[in-house]
Structure 1
Amino acid sequence: MTAHHVAVPASETVHQLAEGPFWDAARHRLLWVDVDAGRVHQGSLTGGTVHETGAVEVDRTVGAVVPDAQGRLLVAGTRALHVVETDGRVRPAVHVLPDGVRSRLNDGACDPAGRFVVGSMALDDRTGQERLVVVHDATDLRPLDEDLTLSNGLAWTADGRRLYSTDTTSGTIYVRDYDPATGTAGPRSVQLQVTDGSPDGMCLDANGDLWVAVWGAGEVRCHAAADGSLLATVSVDAPHTSSVAFAGPDLDVLVVTTGSSQLTPEQAAAHPDSGRLFTADVGVQGAEVPGWDAVSHPVLVPAGPPV
């Protein structure tokens, strides 16, 4: 039997396109981004309520944020990575996308060794040319995929040996073998195909099952890793559910990000909480998500001064 849960609004701020929630356990803070505003946000989590405590503008758009051991933030900007120092200074880092291509960086996450892996999406009508790139360091960027339509959510199994990755426009979640020691991957295969809505951000729970935010459906869906069967759904009163993460000291609060800027006037009127963060109690704990290892995988370009 499929379990059903309901998420409730959890934040005061209404975002254009909230994305990429990340629980920074060492500092008891929730991180997320507002993609179209180019802003990184942080807040505390009390029960199921998110209290925003700060924000920093980083670039024209931002796709993802992850912390390092010192509390610095690695951010996927429009075409390049940036580092936000603990004092709020934004430092330019390595460029990921080549010049002359109308694409921007989108979702990203760290593998179990602390390498940042980030994908892209087109800003024009090109299809099948987007990338998923492993950033070993500022001079070593290696693509895993170069034929995606819209690269999105990423998640690794607890042992780091399997990588799930989303291609939103095609409705596909892929899986492949992954070597966390080297950052290399095997050939991909289809894990899930979503036809009613578009798969966006995702995470894993402690059982290894996938929680997928489904854009356009106002839902998060949990699928069994073993066979893809639907285990649970979470209703969200916002059509554009964009990403999901487990947060809190016990990783037992499901945080869902949503967007408000791509709704019709009728949708906006019917779903006034669109753009807020939502939370839900789904009865399971999440898996720990690795942060950025800035020592082993540095991204700052030596000549890049603070801005």
Structure 2
Amino acid sequence: MTAETTISRDDREEACARSRRRIILRENLRGWGIVGPIILYLVIFTFIPLVILFRYSFTQDDLFKGTVFVGFENYKRIFTDPNYYMLFLATILIAVFTIGFSLVFGMLIALGVTGRIRGKGFYRTVYYIPVVVSMAVVAQISNVWLSYNSGTFNNILTALGAERIAWYKSTFWMYFWIIVICVWKGLGATVILLIAGLNAIPPEVYEAADLDGANGAERFFKITLPQLRPMLVFVMITSIIGAFNIFEPVQLISQGGPDGTTKVILFQIYNEAFQNGNYGMGSAISVVVLLILMVLTMLNMKFGEEKN
């Protein structure tokens, strides 16, 4: 009887072990079924293209020899040619002003539409509309406004007795309009993210501050900003990446002019790869931009963690 009981207990333990293994296997398969397609997508559309891009960055396309391995020549040219310094300077200039104005105006608008006002949904929709408007449409409207002979702005200046402005021949005005368009186009996304961050702040924190007699400035700088820091870090990271990917306003409005002063990095990558057929140089610039974005993102995240 004891032997039979022992055998029966062993069988039950073995059956339980097999059942646990099946459950674990089923859960693992379910997990891989969810994660697997994402990993496959990243491998096919991210990691493999990155490897190809990195390999191309060490080559040049020769009319007679085809693709030739040139080592670090493309990178040497990027770091020694003054024209490329101007590219990065133009990109950084546009990025700094675009991010700065987007954060300031985005914060003001987000604070305004999260207060006790009517029609919050309407205002949020209105501010988000520019995000979904095609840049080609924006560029076409801008060209109508900025035309020297028949542009809306020059007609207004003429009616006021002022001289017409050659917008497209002025480096300052081209930078100005590119920054204005970039801020206007991306402001809605910044506002939505900041609204989400503001709504996540517990109201009890503000109630405690009111009991302590905190004024509006103290509430903003000692409660709102610290509570918003994780969202601000995220907005900064996405804004930096977006600023380094500015292409359409330059391509459709200034074409890099006047005299190439508004050429940005992505515009030059496009010219090198698809206009000049120099895929090696275009790939090398892309690798440098990728490394810069990685460093800036890590610094931004590190700064945010330390502040938190």
Q: Give the structure-1-normalised TM-score.
A: 0.21
More strand by share: 1
Please say which structure displays the higher CA radius of gyration. Answer: 2
Q: Which protein has greater RCO, CA pairs closer than 8 Å, 6+ apart?
A: 2
Q: Give the structure-2-normalised TM-score.
A: 0.21
